[in-house]
Amino acid sequence: MFRLDGMNALVTGASGGIGSAIAIALAKQGARVALSGSNGQKLRAFREQLHEEHGGEHVEITCDLSNTEQVEELIPATLDTLGGIDILVNNAGITRDGLAMRMKDEDWHQVVSINLEAAFRLMRGSARPMMKARFGRIINITSVVGHTGNPGQMNYCAAKAGLTGMTKSFAQEVASRGITANCVAPGFIRTAMTTALDEKQTETINARIPMGKMGAGDDIGAAVSFLASREAGYITGETLHVNGGMAMV
């Protein structure tokens, strides 16, 4: 069950902690993956690692999601290199934290542009080839704070909440064509950012989680792989929360 053999996937932010875990999970289930990110050198090294450890003819496509022209070219580049697109994972995101009264306009615009607008453009670009194939899986990586809010992250929370609403609208538009659109909302996941926290900070976070620990990238990869599968074809417009019980939405 849940095999992805013969499917082509595009993952944005693929060289990051959660993004690489998603790409590995899809590759292990048989998908061919286009790895996208802004750092070509990191992407190339990760692609070579992915091929060596899990096989498959994967590709890397450098794209700066803050550049509208590059975003618009990403789906056509994926179609050219893979020959099709069955799975789109909008994972890339940035933070520019700050209290609302001190938040600069640029910090707002950058976060919304990359976390929300770029995802919209990629969803729109993938719609036509997926509709033609009468099959597609859109999976958007949101966040628990898009549902709960978080002080100092008004821009990030707004973008992630917007991504959830956008996913529901898209899901209704394309459901009759065999395309699903869902979200995966991670809680606290162990990444390079969280490993930099000191012991007291880690204990404070873990105390908020009923399972008493942060999740792993593999937990998000497994959720994405399931939603990308043919077996998940009757699930659309939903958000799968992966947060250890921190927020039971």
Q: Identify the structural domains of the chain with CATH numbers, from first to last.
A: 8-238 (3.40.50.720)
- Find the helix packing angle between 118-133 and 154-174, rounded to 10°: 20
C-beta separation of 242 from 218 below 8 A: no
Instruction: State the burial class of residue 111 (Cβ atoms within 10 Å of its Cβ: 0-12, 13-18, 19+).
Output: buried
Task: Specify whether 156 is catalytic.
Answer: yes
Instruction: Tell me which of 156, 170, 188, 226 is the catalytic residue.
Output: 156
Q: What pLDDT is recorded for position 194?
A: 73
Q: What is the pTM of this model?
A: 0.95
Integer CA distances (angstroms), 10 to 5, 20, 75, 163, 169, in order: 15, 12, 8, 18, 21
C-beta separation of 49 from 35 below 8 A: no
b/e burial code for range 190-209 (CB count within 10 A of at least 16 → b)? bbeeeeeeeeeebeebeeeb
C-beta separation of 129 from 146 below 8 A: no
C-beta separation of 216 from 190 below 8 A: yes
Write out 204-233 in H/E/C secondary structure. HHHHCCCCCCCECHHHHHHHHHHHHCHHHC
Task: Quote the mean pLDDT of the chain.
Answer: 95
Query: For the chain, first and last CA: distance in Å?
Result: 28
Contacting residues for 92 by C-beta, under 8 A, at least 6 apart: 12, 13, 16, 19, 36, 37, 65, 114, 115, 118
Residue 2's φ and ψ, nearest 5 degrees, are: 65, 25
Instruction: State the burial class of residue 152 (Cβ atoms within 10 Å of its Cβ: 0-12, 13-18, 19+).
Output: middle
pLDDT in tens, the chain (249 residues): 789 999 999 999 998 889 999 999 999 999 999 999 999 999 999 999 999 998 889 999 999 999 999 999 999 999 999 999 999 999 999 999 999 999 999 999 999 999 999 999 999 999 999 999 999 999 999 999 999 999 999 999 999 999 999 999 999 999 999 999 999 999 999 887 677 778 888 898 899 999 999 999 999 999 999 999 999 999 999 999 999 999 998
Tokens of 61: 């496509």
Q: What pLDDT is recorded for position 202?
A: 87
C-beta separation of 187 from 210 below 8 A: no
Q: What pLDDT is recorded for position 193?
A: 66
Span 126-152, pLDDT tens digits: 999 999 999 999 999 999 999 999 999
